[in-house]
Amino acid sequence: MKRSYPRHWVGWTLGMDVCAIILSFILAYFVRFWTGLPVALGIPDLADYWHALLGIIPIYLWFFRESHLYEPMRHVRRIEEIFLVIKAVTYAVVVLMAITFFYRQYSFSRLYLIFLWFFSCLFISAGRYLIIQWEYLRRTQKKDLIEMLIIGAGNHAQDLIFWTKNNPHYGQIPVGMLTHDPTHIGKHFEDVPILGLTSQWKEFVEKLQPNQVILLDENFSREMITELVLACEDEFIEFKMGTDIHGLIASNVGVDYISHIPLLGFKPLPLDDPWNRFCKRTFDLILAFLMALVFLPVGLMVAFLIRLEGKGPIFFFQERVGRDGKVFKLIKFRTMKVDAEKETGPVWAKQDDDRRTRTGELLRRWNLDEFPQLLNVLKGEMSLVGPRPERPHFVAKFRGDIPRYMTRHKVKSGLTGWAQVHGLRGNTSIEERIKYDLYYMENWSLLLDVEILFMTFFAFKNAY
């Protein structure tokens, strides 16, 4: 019997977190009280603060657990891990600060808690970064691998195999595929053998004893799925199933009960909450205003270059579809020749597009053509971060062809987005873009917005 997954890294991470918390606690004490900063009531003894660790460590670890930072099988990039740590530490320190108002037995320094927050973010993030790097190294050396048996040999199975090949640091390795087509047996896809028929799944599960069984064959009946799930549980093998095998798009599905009857439905989006919308709008207004002030000199220079290149307007206005399907005028610096679509009609920009001006090529390469959209943000037509708005012509085309395409219009469109920072812009797959847009909508947080804005400065893929 094979264990489902080597979970030792959770223990290492927990230990590293506790050490980082203690180090942050001690360093914050010495920086606050022994660096010459004003102290109203004299320097307290370290022992007076030391007993507070009995409360600090559990509070930190509880918020880390609630942020899913101790789940053993997470596909999280390093930058995402750091943002999650900062978010959890912030919540923990806010709670500690609130507790000090009610704890009157001893007066704790509020400035000390600020130093504790800073050093905690720094040391815990550094510790987790090192552990992730260590895990990546072990997995690229073929250690601690997660062996997967894939039942199904369609497009989803091929996409999954491509992903594992391109992301070896996650340590997931397909050991074989099963197909419903007998003529494919013995063939390989990306070095992964097609071992047998899907109807022989029981034989191969018992023989291979993989860590995971992933069902991607839509021909499986409900009864067969139930039997497969029970067999995997009996062998302590993790079971996963593609969410759209039976036409169910379940990335944001929740269960409600009426009487004893469980009912599936889509959970509310984070931005359905009025408070979250208020926070996002406030964040947009403040940051967009500051960015507009900073960018103004550069914008004047760009306008001069566009005017210098020849006749034509400096700005380009185009109808786009925003939240709730409302059409608005998006503003950009003009990067194309005048009447660029007169002969072709509405088409996407492409690499080496001969419709671009010389200045326009530079602006698109560095994403500078988008900055006038800060005005759209200030007007409330757009947000700094969200699904990119599309033209009515393309919306009408895609809404009938792409499942859940119109769902992306439940939130404000963005100047940048989760899909764009992953290179999905211009003439790229709409289906892939929708997956990224839906992920953003279902997992929104202000920290995710900050992360996307940061990544935008380095997102030049497909910028043409």
Reported as a single tens digit per residue, the pLDDT across 149-192 is: 999 888 888 888 888 888 887 778 899 999 988 888 888 888 88
Q: 146-248 sits in which CATH class? A: alpha beta
How far apart are alpha carbons 322 and 218 in whole angstroms? 35
Residue 240 has pLDDT above 80, yes or no: yes
pTM of the model: 0.60
Report pLDDT for 73.
Answer: 60
CATH 3.40.50.720 placement within the chain:
146-248
Q: How far apart are CA 303 and CA 310, in angstroms?
A: 12
Return the closest-CA partner of residue 438 out of 255, 249, 276, 256: 249
> pLDDT tens, 25-68?
999 988 988 887 877 666 777 777 787 788 889 999 999 988 88
Query: Alpha-carbon distance 163 to 157, whole Å?
Result: 10
Distance (Å, whole) CA 261 – CA 264: 10
Measured distance CA(418)–CA(420) in Å, rounded: 6
Q: How large is the angle between the packed helices 201-208 and 222-234, nearest 10 degrees?
A: 20
CA 355-360-366 angle, 5° bins: 130
3-class state of residue 447 by DSSP: helix
CB-count exposure of residue 150 (10 Å: 0-12, 13-18, 19+): buried
Q: How far is CA 274 from CA 172, 205, 277, in A?
A: 40, 48, 5
pLDDT tens across 205-234, in order? 989 989 889 888 888 888 888 888 888 887
Cβ(411)–Cβ(441) under 8 Å?
yes
Q: pLDDT (tens digit, 9 = 90+) per residue, 278-333?
A: 999 999 999 999 999 998 998 898 888 888 877 778 888 989 999 988 999 999 88
Q: Give helix 358-365 / helix 274-309 axis angle, nearest 10°.
A: 150
